[in-house]
Amino acid sequence: MTIIAIVSQKGGSGKTTLSVNLAAAAEAAGAVSLIIDTDPQATASQWGAWRSDKAPEVIDSAPPRIQSKVDAAKAQGATFIVIDTPPHADSAASRAVEVADLVLIPCRPSAFDLAAIKTTVSLVRLFGKPAYVVFTAGPPHAPRMYEEAVELVQGFGIEACPYILPDRAVYRHASAAGASVIEFEPEGKAAAEITALHLWTIAHVNMSTTAREGV
Ligand SMILES: Nc1ncnc2c1ncn2[C@@H]1O[C@H](COP(=O)(O)OP(=O)(O)OP(=O)(O)O)[C@@H](O)[C@H]1O
Ligand SMILES: [Mg+2]
């Protein structure tokens, strides 16, 4: 089972959008996928309700219950869990990082947003978990800008994910319809981008597990 925590203290950085679409990409790839919504704003849960509880399932959790919800999901056959967290340095983010195999930090590629990831980086470091910044909602074609953003995050002591989720209107349209971008526009660019990010996520987690086990 793979557990991904989506964490960023910055509001509106794309946590919920990444959470629901990554879980949907896993489901589309054959996983039994689950979203654990730890945000009192309950945005991911709202998305789940809009789609009449069509898979992936969304459940909510108070921070101290995350581990037991993960255990229960595992017993029920879940193979891919995404934990969405609220935009504050609170216990939900800490508990999510604690149980995760990999932490993704969505961040818009702007100076203010990049500066704000420092607190998130400190949190991740506290638990020694592998973590990557995922650039969200930026321009699709701006190689120089992304190069600078990568250098900046590396300066904070963290790596950037080689896959980005640039600004695509389909994210807003799909969410409003209670759909993932893969369901809403299967042949679209956003669907291809989130599929690539999901594959990278799986490959990365498998690689680090193998390395840890010394196989
Ligand atoms: N790649 C993207 N392309 C276009 N719009 C995006 C993208 N990612 C996020 N958005 C939009 O940005 C807004 C904020 O995204 P989202 O709700 O996922 O952020 P969040 O980090 O979960 O916010 P909060 O901190 O309040 O929980 C939403 O309207 C969403 O549709
Ligand atoms: Mg959110």
For the chain, the structural domain boundaries read 2-205
Residue 17's pLDDT is 98
Q: Which ligand is nearest to the CA of 9?
A: 1
As a whole number of angstroms, the distance between CA 107 and CA 115 comes to 10
Report DSSP letters for 4-15, one per residue.
EEE--SSTTSSH
**What is the position in ligand 1's atom list of the atom closest to the CA of 18?**
18
Phi and psi at residue 190, to the nearest 5°? -60, -40
Provide the 8-state DSSP code for 66.
Answer: H
Whole-prediction pTM = 0.97
Helix (H) or strand (E) holding 75, with range, is: helix 66-75
How confident is the model at residue 66, as a pLDDT?
98
Supply the pLDDT for residue 210.
79
Among residues 193, 109, 108, which one has the least CA distance to residue 144?
109
Structure tokens at 172: 């807003």
CA distance 35 to 24: 9
Q: What are phi and psi of 21, to 5 degrees?
A: -75, -35
CATH of domain 2-205: 3.40.50.300
Query: Checking phi first, is residue 62 left (phi over 0); if not, alpha (psi -120 to 50) or beta?
Result: beta
Structure-token pair, residue 90: 């609170």
* Beta carbons within 8 Å of 31's beta carbon, 6+ residues apart: 79, 80
Helix (H) or strand (E) holding 80: strand 80-84
Distance CA 173, CA 168 (A): 10
User: Going by CA atoms, what residue is nearest to atom 3 of ligand 1?
Assistant: 167
Distance (Å) from CA 25 to ligand 2 centroid: 18
Ligand 1 neighbours by CB, cut-off 6 Å: 11-17, 39, 41, 43, 87, 136-137, 165, 167-168, 171-172, 175
Among protein residues, the one with the nearest Cα to ligand 1's atom 15 is: 14
How far does the centroid of ligand 1 lie from the alpha carbon of residue 108, in Å? 10
What is the pLDDT tens value at each position of the chain, 215 positions in all?
999 999 999 999 999 999 999 999 999 999 999 999 999 999 999 999 999 979 999 999 999 999 999 999 999 999 999 999 999 868 999 999 999 999 999 999 998 999 999 999 999 999 999 999 999 999 999 999 999 999 999 999 999 999 999 999 999 999 999 999 999 999 999 999 999 999 999 999 988 877 777 75
Q: 3-state DSSP call for residue 62?
A: coil
Q: Residue 211: its pLDDT value, please?
A: 78
Q: Considering only CA atoms, which residue is closest to atom 8 of ligand 1?
A: 14
Distance 127 CA to ligand 1 centre (A): 26
* Residue 172 CA, closest ligand 1 atom number: 31
Rounded to a whole number of angstroms, the distance between the first and last alpha carbons of the chain is 18
What does the block give as tokens for 143? 């190689």
Q: Residue 36 is encoded by which pair of tokens?
A: 């654990």
The predicted structure's pLDDT at residue 88: 82
95-111 as b/e, with b when 16 or more CB fall inside 10 Å?
bbbebbbbbbbbbbbee
Which residue type occupies 102?
L
